Amino acid sequence: MPLLGNHEEMLLLSLSDRKVLECWLGSGGVEALRSYGWAPEARRSLDETIPRQHWQFLARGQLYHETDTHLFVHAGYVPELPLDRQPAEALRWQFVDRKKARPHCSGKIAVVGHTPQRSGKVLDLGFLVCIDTACHAGKWLTALEVHGGQLWQANQRGELRQGKSLKP
């Protein structure tokens, strides 16, 4: 199940809003389009450049995913609100402030992204784990197995690292 983040939201809205399109293009959209073989001189529209199956995948994006032990959101959350009452803006756009962060009222561990950890290391507050390890800035793309705490990371140079640096 894909999670809907701020960049996916911008891409979907850019089909009907020129200002959002310009914002998305300036926030990594040009690079995303180039990965589809797009060139500015081709003058192809977004829906011609990006395959239909990819649009369908993005359209199925959810604001959150929840298990018995964890909740997964793209960005952040309002600690005192159940997930089904969260403002969409918090789930897609809110940055984590490690000094102000509080556990979610469900008591579940939150797994989030969106707040780049420029050190390349996962932020583990016990009740919140941020796996955005600044891949966009040349650091690491991180995958996490939540029950065992196993981490896998890859960077743009093709280097790999793994470890079990989180509490299971």
Structure tokens belonging to residue 70 = 């964890």
- Helix (H) or strand (E) holding 152, with range, is strand 150-154
Where residue 164 falls among pLDDT bands split at 50, 70, 90? confident
pLDDT for res 107: 98
Residue 167 has pLDDT above 70, yes or no: no
Beta strands in 25-140 (DSSP E): 64-66, 70-73, 109-112, 123-124, 128-130
Residue 53 has pLDDT above 80, yes or no: yes
Are the CB atoms for 72 and 66 separated by under 8 Å? yes
Are the CB atoms for 27 and 10 separated by under 8 Å? yes
Residue 166 has pLDDT above 90, yes or no: no
pTM: 0.91
- In order of 69, 141, 162, the CA distances from 47 in angstroms are 38, 28, 38
pLDDT for res 41: 81
